[in-house]
Structure 1
């Protein structure tokens, strides 16, 4: 018992130290690296809290793809002029930001501590109806059945984020290849991993997607792994990025949310409620949505990291 408490204490202290380091450091690269380590420790914390689904999501998206996105942003900022001293945050604004953060912390703590006892919850009703989904993983059942509208909106937000990134395309770059052209890396760890890792990663992603119906895993985690397997050879210059006006690319991006909406409308016609699944059809319909959404989310995450097309130089 005592060693477990000591390990949890060290984990919590590490998370707080990395969070402070992310904010306090003045170097962009160091801040991004600390953020990746912070996400990995958070994944361990979620695992300690017996939330493997959240731990997988945090490790793959929170630390993995988000870290790559931040490192890509740091790379794009290299060579830009340093901000002038006049543009730096003054002490008054720093104090006001600190007060605002402290007030937000107190408000969130009060909201948690002042909850009535017993806390209002729909967990008993959800648990009583989980069997109707035929899914063994309660997290997937909740996200795809009882909170299906939230999941649909999340997939739509990812698609909208890609559209917003494409909207930042400079003049003369529209319709071109996503992101900057990467130099070919023929030797070193990146070149080796870009050639060896993708086949293994694709198999792991398919496994995570398939077992997500009955065990920890699912579409978002699998999509993050697939996106990483695409980004690795792209960063090594071995696989070209797609043109953003490619028809297949837009079809894959829109297929997941479109199928989700169509099945939701079918539920409205058959059962009288949007996103309601007919009896006996819940699991196959959910699996169909998960499979198509995985491809859409994977492509969207990769395109977010690649960034908008650049005009030819």
Structure 2
């Protein structure tokens, strides 16, 4: 009996270890709102190169959306093409919905334009999906907000299906969202605020309202901490907590407007890669399914 019990415990531990080894790593989320003047994106290229097994999701944003032209300008073409050359990078295009105040037809037009980047002939500037900013967190009267986001997700899926992509969709209410919205998103930014509001990393991503988001997997959530002013040790501690919670995406920055890269970018990527077990290892995740 003792031997059987010991064997059962042994195989259970093997199963737990295998499950932990196969779980998706926490990805680095980069709101890349900095214009790609020569050298401006180099710090990002450097950390992507330094940690080739660490996944990144990069939001490109030419002009609060794709801009007026069919394709972005030459600097953006060069920058996005370089991002797409890395196997550990997923690029997605920025669209805003102004908390559902923006006309749906205008949103869909932006989505279609981003999907159309795949048709550019002389460089690979195709994006894999859409980042929907200023998204609602409440379903609204008669589920109006939820229906709006359902239409947005439908437009993304349709536009990107034509390019052979699944249309990865990340929405950003910047706060805890009703769990109903997860049906229409692959990831939701459940926190976007300065560090001063980040009190409890262990419980932050679960609302006290049990009808709202309780039980929502951490892997479907994203965390953005802006205006980081604390110590490097504090940053590393919080990042360890985020990865331990299996949060899908994370970004910490000392810049309030996503307009600069500092030494904190190296801390962020290095610590997350370390906690993911992707430093000094042969473990590879390959190209994300873009």
**Coarse TM-score class (shorter-chain normalised):** under 0.3
TM-score for the superposition, normalised by structure 1: 0.22
Highest relative contact order (Cα 8 Å, sep 6+), 1 or 2?
Answer: 1
- Which protein has the bigger strand share? 2
- Which protein has the bigger helix share? 1
